[in-house]
Structures are given as structure tokens and as C-alpha cells.
Amino acid sequence: MSFGKRAALILLVLASVFLLLNTPVVWKWMYPIKYEQQIVTTALKYEVDPHLVLAVIRSESGFATDRVSKKGAVGLMQIMPDTAQWIVKEAGFRPKDSEYLYDPVMNIEIGTWYLDFLLSRYDGDIVKVIAAYNAGPGKVNGWLASEQWNGSRDTIEDIPYGETRQYVQRVLYYHDRYKNIYDFQLR
């Protein structure tokens, strides 16, 4: 086989691989969703973008319900027990037992309620919301007040905590991926 034919064959194979990898089926395989109905239903209930909920879950736990962080955050959305207690009281939730944060339905409900709370607090600015979900609203408010960070997507590098900086970038990345892959018909 001549060099020209070999090069053309290689280009054809590479183009085919690229096209195959760029299909919705492959993207959905790379970014699967567990608990889709619960996430979409709960997101709709609280008027939160389901892609944001998915991005938080993927970043926090990788969809593992039994995940517990070194700091003690629990479940799919990695909710701190103290924050969960505050949310349960504030929102009037009635968990059936003390292990409620391991229950995917309850964890999604509490985490999505909290995202809605943060979205209200930060006027729908998901960059600030994501930072507050990770570091806490008190820290984010402090950074904004002291002008350490102005809260914009363009200045994520100014976030004082490296963990939060990386978290915000990761959640935004997953948010964009899920938004490009899944088109939820929210009514």
C-alpha cells in the first residue's frame, strides 16, 4: 500500500473514531445518570437547574449513596450533618430515621433545597452558589465583602481556598457537560 493510501486510510479511521466518540450514546455512557427521575422531579419542584444538581452529585460523590468525606459530609450530595439538621428544621422535612442522609431521595431533596436557598441568596449566580455549597455562605460572603474575590466566573482563580477553587471549576465543567448531553424538558 502506498504512503498516500495509508495516510488516507489513517485519516478515515481517525475521522470515524472521532465521529463515533462524539455521539450522544457515547457521551451518555461517559456521563451516566443515576436517580434521574428523582433529580429532575426535585429540581423542578425547587426550580433548580437539574444539570446543576447532577454536576454537584457527580463532583461530590460520583453518585455513591454511601460516600462519607473526611470532614463528615454524607451521601450523594455530600451534606454536612449540621447543615442537614438546619435544612430539615428550616424546610420542615420529616426524615424517617437518623440515617436519612444515606437515603438518595432524602439526600437529593435536602441538597436541592439547599441549592435553591443559595440561588435565592446569590441572585441565581451559580458560580457563587457552587462556591458557597463547598466552602459555606459565610466564607463566600467574607471573600466578597473583603474583595478577595468578586464572585465572577472570570476570577475563580482568586478564590482563597484551593479546594473551593478546584471544586467550582469541576462543578462548572460537569454542569456544561450535562447541559450539552441531556436535554430535560422541564415544564
Give the active site residues.
Answer: 60
Q: Is 155 left (phi over 0), alpha (psi -120 to 50) or beta?
A: alpha
> What is the torsion angle, in degrees rounded to the nearest 10, for the CA atoms of residue 35, residue 169, residue 185 and residue 31?
-50
- Residues 110 and 93: beta-carbon distance below 8 Å: yes
Other Cβ atoms within 10 Å of 171 Cβ, number: 25
* Per-residue cell: 93: 422535612
